[in-house]
Structure 1
């Protein structure tokens, strides 16, 4: 059945990978370090080095703050390839969230969608870093859930359950919430497990969280390439009312 967005009052979004384009900056930074020391790796290899370290660090409990995840990912990358750890460079990595840009379609799409829906941001990030990104999105979110808030990283259900509770206080039940994300592993699969509808924003050319090994059991109610397409899909359905 075609997804009817008129059945929802709130949209929750994954942020990094869906709204904020983080992969190119991460690749560029890892490439910069590798290039200084004559280490030759492809863009995919550089990204996978980050993802391998990130995944292990996000399983640590109590949960690390995201700057610590970035800081330690850099250190592990250096150690893996016999490169010296530069403390100043390490701190640039730790605070790099402020350098990550929005996708070019994000701001317009979010402005369109916020006219109709309450907006939630669900992110594996810390409370300080999310402020940089929220300003770049050009919106004021109604609900923000971070890893720091819930002391866990998606796909842990705590992010979603916290959002459900916050929206319920606004009179919006779980079944009236639509989740939107690029990561099959961290967004679509937990949405499936929790019984809520979801949209997969594929973002062609981006892969974190959506490689074949991440996709087992993932089933989105709607698959689109960009946020612009989601905004247009919403507008088209509104026109039918």
Structure 2
């Protein structure tokens, strides 16, 4: 039986917060960390308004609204800075060893990502570990925490609770829908957030002990 380990990408494998804050910092020096928190609140609203909107445009529109709320002037052409920089956002140092170890343990790997096909393609080259399947927001016409990524993956690859573990950092975008769909799940709580940990089958601060945890969750 094929065993699947699916991942969210940005926030779990790639440092999304660093990428957003650094892009903002290029335009508004000294304001990156502050405006990141505004952006982090606005982006899910933009995604929910028009689920078919491409992620590159979600990034741009979210930045426009962030600048407007913060009262800073955004030159119109500068709204593209986040989409332009995304392919260079850093991969967390624990990612390549963990993904490699999972493959060596017999798991196939997939990404369920709130991203466009072209952008995730650029990102995958930096993961430097083969990914078997990618399901994007562009593919399904919606953004997590909607269920379409999960249902498309399940129907396309015969993935069920018996052969599938989902691993992700976002409690809202990934743990909540995975619980609702009864998918085994590991919450990577990289930022020591105080969300309810009981909705996950396991909680880790990073990917350092991932293989043993995934194996244990799968067997439970």
Alignment of 1:159-170 (within 5 A): 159-168=149-158
Corresponding position: 1:133 with 2:113: no
- 1: distance between equivalents of 2:12 and 2:83? 21
Alignment of 1:220-239 (within 5 A): 220-231=200-211, 233=213
| Structure 1 residues 119-144: Cα deviation after superposition (integer angstroms, max 9, x where no partner) | 11000000000011111111232221
Corresponding residue for residue 24 of structure 1: 18
- 1: distance between equivalents of 2:152 and 2:214? 26
Corresponding residue for residue 117 of structure 1: 107
Corresponding residue for residue 4 of structure 1: none
Alignment of 1:169-208 (within 5 A): 172-204=159-191
| Residue 96 (structure 1) shift | 2.2
- 1: distance between equivalents of 2:15 and 2:208? 14
Q: Secondary structure at the match of 2:61?
A: helix
Corresponding position: 1:79 with 2:68: yes
| Structure 1 residues 29-82: Cα deviation after superposition (integer angstroms, max 9, x where no partner) | 2234333xxxx7582x32221112211110123521111011112211222233
Gaps of 5+ in 1: 1-6, 206-210
Could you list the structure 1 runs, at least 4 aligned residues long, displaced by more than 4 angstroms after superposition.
Answer: 232-235
| Structure 1 residues 140-197: Cα deviation after superposition (integer angstroms, max 9, x where no partner) | 32221110000000011100001111221xxx54431000000111111111100111
- 2: distance between equivalents of 1:185 and 1:62? 16
Corresponding residue for residue 15 of structure 1: 9
Residue 88 (structure 2) aligned to one of 99, 112, 131: 99
Please tell me whether the aligned partners of residues 70 and 94 of structure 1 are also in contact (alpha carbons under 8 angstroms).
yes
| Residue 228 (structure 1) shift | 1.9
Of 91-100 and 108-117, deviating more is 91-100
- 1: distance between equivalents of 2:160 and 2:181? 13
Gaps of 5+ in 2: none
- 1: distance between equivalents of 2:12 and 2:86? 14
Q: Secondary structure at the match of 2:28?
A: helix
- 1: distance between equivalents of 2:117 and 2:25? 28
Paired positions, count: 215
Larger radius of gyration: 1
Q: Secondary structure at the match of 2:199?
A: coil
- 2: distance between equivalents of 1:64 and 1:176? 32
Q: Cα RMSD between the aligned structures?
A: 2.3
Normalising by structure 1, we get a TM-score of 0.80
Q: Secondary structure at the match of 1:12?
A: strand
Normalising by structure 2, we get a TM-score of 0.88
